[in-house]
């Protein structure tokens, strides 16, 4: 069975920082599972890395468990990259009462909360409330929290996500977006303004640490030409993450891309049922596209185990193979 558009997209409420999504496995399960993953990937590529969303949770041991995991990875040459929701997705401390939890921040400072629209290829729909990513007090809070994260744990950097095409609807944000020239899409305008302010300070204070940010978007040439200027406001040292799940483009668009780029695909996931498919050819194609475009690697969900079902092992072997040799000849339907 070949993979097609998934019949569902997971839980849409997960992007809201005021929605609880607790981890129920406890500290032992958290550490043992990630120890096994670290041991598995440490020899896959010269510079293996694992992005962890929910790196900090009360339910799996909080700061102490996260510190043990980070030290374990660093000792084995694997770069841990905690995911940080800068508007949605929980903030720095994903679950629990903590100064760097987005949920805690929203409860303490309701004046920093803003309504959003989700603006993507399906149109614009109303979405939930989050912290206002263009408020200077939110930028200051994020900067302080990410500084703490990078100084407390032996990690390679952070992976930032603003929210699933979230566009703030307050008057200040609307006015700021109107000032952006050369960027037509409202979400890319938000990326330019938000990350332009946040990442500049982080890059200056943490040289050598990776600061990456998600666009949630593929990079077709027409879209890039309409919005490429968004990255001119973001430090060139940051890594721009593009979603290649359905990418089919074959032309080289490096003249329109930021200096540093990485691919990501919503694959190997129970949430969208891509755990039920043979993804070998899809993985080969997206690795080839990323390599041809000069990307610094490709990532996948990795949500399922090696022995999850009949497809899992073959899909992981394909991912290992084609990330190592992305130009290897392969036929496609």
pLDDT in tens, 65-75: 999 999 999 99
> Can you read off the two tokens belonging to residue 5?
């558009």
What pLDDT is stored for residue 330 in this prediction? 40
pLDDT of residue 326: 78
Distance CA 261, CA 213 (A): 10
The two tokens of residue 101 are: 């939890």
Q: In the chain, which residues have pLDDT < 70? A: 1-22, 121-125, 327-333
CB-side neighbour CA atoms (13 Å) of 322: 25
Fold of 27-243: TIM Barrel (3.20.20)
Using CA atoms, how far apart are residues 68 and 75, in angstroms rounded to an integer? Answer: 11
In this prediction the pTM is: 0.91
Tell me the three state secondary structure of residue 123. strand
Predicted local confidence at residue 332, as pLDDT: 32
CA pair distance 326, 262, nearest whole angstrom? 14
The gap between the terminal CA atoms of the chain, to the nearest Å, is: 12
According to the model, what pLDDT value does residue 12 have?
52
Nearest to 265 by CA among 216, 221, 311, 223: 216
The residue to which tokens 């490429």 are assigned = 228
Specify the pLDDT at position 122. 62
> Taken in order 264, 269, 272, 274, is the CA torsion positive or negative?
positive
């Amino acid at each position: 069975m070949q993979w097609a558009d998934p019949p569902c997209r997971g839980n849409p409420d997960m992007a809201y920082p005021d929605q609880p999504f607790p981890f129920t496995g406890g500290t032992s399960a958290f550490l043992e599972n990630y120890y096994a993953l670290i041991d598995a990937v440490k020899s896959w590529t010269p510079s293996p890395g694992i992005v962890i969303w929910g790196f900090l949770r009360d339910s799996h041991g909080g700061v102490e468990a996260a510190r043990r995991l980070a030290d374990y990875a660093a000792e084995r040459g694997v770069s841990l990259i905690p995911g940080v929701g800068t508007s949605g997705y929980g903030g720095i401390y994903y679950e629990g009462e903590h100064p760097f939890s987005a949920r805690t921040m929203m409860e303490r400072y309701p004046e920093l909360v803003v309504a959003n629209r989700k603006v993507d290829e399906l149109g614009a729909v109303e979405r939930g409330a989050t912290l206002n990513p263009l408020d200077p007090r939110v930028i200051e809070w994020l900067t302080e929290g990410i500084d703490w994260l990078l100084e407390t744990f032996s990690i390679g950097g952070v992976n930032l996500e603003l929210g699933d095409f979230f566009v703030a609807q307050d008057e200040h944000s609307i006015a700021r977006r109107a000032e952006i020239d050369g960027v037509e899409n409202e979400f890319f305008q938000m990326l330019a303004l938000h990350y332009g302010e946040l990442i500049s300070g982080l890059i200056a204070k943490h040289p050598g640490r990776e600061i990456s940010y998600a666009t949630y978007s593929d990079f077709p040439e027409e879209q890039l030409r309409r919005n490429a200027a968004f990255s001119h406001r973001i430090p060139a040292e940051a890594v721009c993450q593009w979603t290649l799940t359905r990418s089919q483009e074959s032309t080289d668009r490096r003249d329109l891309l930021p200096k540093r780029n990485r691919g990501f695909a919503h694959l190997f996931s129970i949430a969208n049922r891509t755990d039920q498919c043979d993804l070998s050819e899809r993985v080969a194609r997206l690795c080839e596209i990323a390599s041809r475009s000069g990307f610094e690697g490709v990532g996948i969900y990795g949500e399922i185990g090696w022995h999850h079902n009949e497809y899992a092992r073959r899909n992981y072997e394909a991912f290992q193979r084609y990330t190592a040799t992305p130009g290897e000849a392969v036929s496609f339907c």
